[in-house]
Amino acid sequence: MPEIPGARPVPLSHLTRAQDRVGFLYLEHCVVHRDANAITARDARGTVHIPAATVGALLLGPGTTVRQQAMVLLAESGSTAVWVGERGVRYYAHGRSLARSSRLLEAQARLVSNRESRLRVARRMYAMRFPDGDTSGLTMQQLRGREGARVRRLYREHAQRTGIPWRRREYDPGDFASGNPVNQALSAANTSLYGVVHAVIVALGCAPGLGFVHTGHVRSFVFDIADIYKADVTIPIAFEIAAREVADIGAETRRAIRDHMRDGSFLDQCVEDVKTLLGEDDDVVEYGPEAFDDPDVVMLWDYDGREVAGGVSYGSDEP
């Protein structure tokens, strides 16, 4: 039998865990291709090689042409491709990521489908934002009110710190340039954050659309998780960038978010937070040799709660 042409897939045991990857990489006006097990980005200035297995999310902006083999490599490497708009501030679609177990997905679906467990997880999410307050007895209306007051206070504090006039969060998703500098910076920062969080969620095998606080959107769970970090990541960085004289506020903000995440601690925190919220133990490893002893086992659900082996004929050969 002849060999299959092209580069061999990345061995599963060689893949980098989600929390150990680079958060995101934004590309625009270039041709994205593959060279062995690296993604290449080529424009008039030359070609850059990017190790695919170390990227969490590849944000593909305007003017990008993506070769089929580049997408194959990203899929094999467990990296997520996200198609975004100009300056990376609009989300269009994303490519699949590598997830070999449905454990977290099943836990997420079970928790979000029950009113009491959904409220319990939502309270946990808000508790992460209010470490000094007790959220255990609050209703969703009370939680939203407390969160709204907290965010408005943060905007005022950072506006005073950076000397920027502030009225309110105001932006047009279809017209990035119509916002003032700080609103542009907030939009760019939040979109970058969403891309990284989205990559973590799909890498862990969870459903981006099954949110606990947000609902009705294909990225509801992405918004749930991202909101946990805005106070520490996107809001302070956006106000700092807006206070400077920069030529391209979108690009400058993305670079600042990237630099903030460069040491990998954000990804590690995000992965652990998702697992904690869904009640999973720390021994769930989505990338690494431990996860791939038998990566393609498919079990069959049994009514009494058991799981039985798939790939077995349970019928009788007798007429």
d(CA 319, CA 82): 53
What number of other Cβ atoms are within 10 A of residue 296's Cβ? Answer: 7
- Cβ-contact 162, 239 below 8 angstroms: yes
Half-sphere exposure of 113 (CA within 13 A, CB side): 6
The per-residue b/e assignment along 97-118, b for 16 or more CB within 10 angstroms, e otherwise, is: bbbbeebbbebbeebbeeeeeb
Residue position matching structure tokens 């996860």: 291
214 labeled binding residue: yes
Q: Is 227 a known ligand-binding residue?
A: yes
Helix axis angle, 265-277 to 115-129, nearest 10°: 150
- Residue 157 annotated as lining a ligand binding site: no
Q: For residue 213, what is the enclosing H or E element?
A: none
The DSSP call for residue 3 is: P
Of 197, 207, 203, nearest to 228 (Cα)?
Answer: 197
Annotated binding site for Mn(2+): 147, 214, 227
Annotated binding site: 147, 214, 227
